[in-house]
């Protein structure tokens, strides 16, 4: 009988240890920064990066557009890229990642051009889109290096994006949103 009691006591101690250690381990996981939140940020970054890639492609097509009606895909992709980037900024923090105001201005510019209905683009409007494409290309390339694999923003790329964003924003305001 002594052996059965010994096994029972050992079993009770193992169960008690598991019941105590497991919750402590889970609490430690919640208190320490879990990689799960970084995973979500990285996934959101991948979505935003994809949207920026689509915007780069649409901007390239828009520089060849002849009418305002041909700017529909640019408007939609610019809106989507802006939406995804805004959510990424909220996830990472406004103090650690720049807002890209030029993308929002791009949406406004296309809406402004399309308000009057389908019409031919003026040469200066076409030229503005060609210049916007040239300015956006390095933004697109820099966006791919904006976060590290651990989900931390790269401050040098963030600063570079801020500068390019300001240039594109100014171009859109002067050329299209006058």
Q: Is the per-residue pLDDT at 1 higher than 60?
A: no
One domain for residues 24 and 101: no
Q: Give the pLDDT score at 37.
A: 53
- Digit-coded pLDDT (tens) for 111-152: 999 998 899 999 999 999 999 999 999 999 999 999 988 888
Mean pLDDT of 17-31: 72
Mean pLDDT of 78-101: 94
Say which residues have a Cβ less than 8 Å from residue 63's Cβ, sequence separation at least 6: 126, 129, 130, 132, 133
One domain for residues 114 and 156: yes
Q: Is the per-residue pLDDT at 35 higher than 70?
A: no
One domain for residues 132 and 101: yes
Q: Rounded to 5 degrees, what angle do the CA atoms 136, 90, 85 make?
A: 20
One domain for residues 40 and 26: no
Q: Is the per-residue pLDDT at 33 higher than 70?
A: no
Q: Give the pLDDT score at 88.
A: 94
One domain for residues 120 and 156: yes
One domain for residues 123 and 136: yes
pLDDT averaged over every residue in the chain: 88
One domain for residues 56 and 2: no
One domain for residues 66 and 122: yes
> Total structural domains in the chain?
2
Residue 27 structural domain: 1-32
Inter-residue contact 131 to 171 (CB < 8 Å):
yes
Residue count (the chain): 178
Mean pLDDT of 19-38: 66
């Amino acid at each position: 009988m002594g052996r059965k009691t010994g096994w029972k006591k050992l079993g009770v101690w193992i169960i008690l240890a598991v019941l105590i250690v497991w919750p402590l381990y889970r609490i430690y996981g919640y208190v320490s920064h879990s990689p799960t939140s970084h995973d979500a940020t990285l996934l959101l970054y991948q979505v935003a990066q994809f949207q920026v890639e689509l915007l780069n492609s649409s901007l390239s097509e828009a520089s060849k557009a002849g009418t305002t009606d041909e700017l529909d895909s640019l408007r939609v992709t610019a809106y989507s890229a802006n939406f995804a980037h805004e959510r990424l900024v909220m996830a990472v923090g406004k103090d650690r990642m720049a807002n890209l105001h030029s993308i929002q201005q791009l949406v406004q510019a296309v809406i402004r051009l399309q308000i009057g209905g389908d019409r031919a683009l003026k040469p200066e409007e076409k030229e503005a889109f060609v210049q916007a494409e040239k300015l956006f290309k390095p933004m697109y390339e820099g966006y791919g290096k904006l976060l590290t694999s651990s989900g931390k923003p790269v401050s040098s790329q963030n600063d570079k994006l801020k500068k390019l964003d300001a240039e594109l924003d100014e171009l859109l305001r002067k050329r299209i949103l006058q």
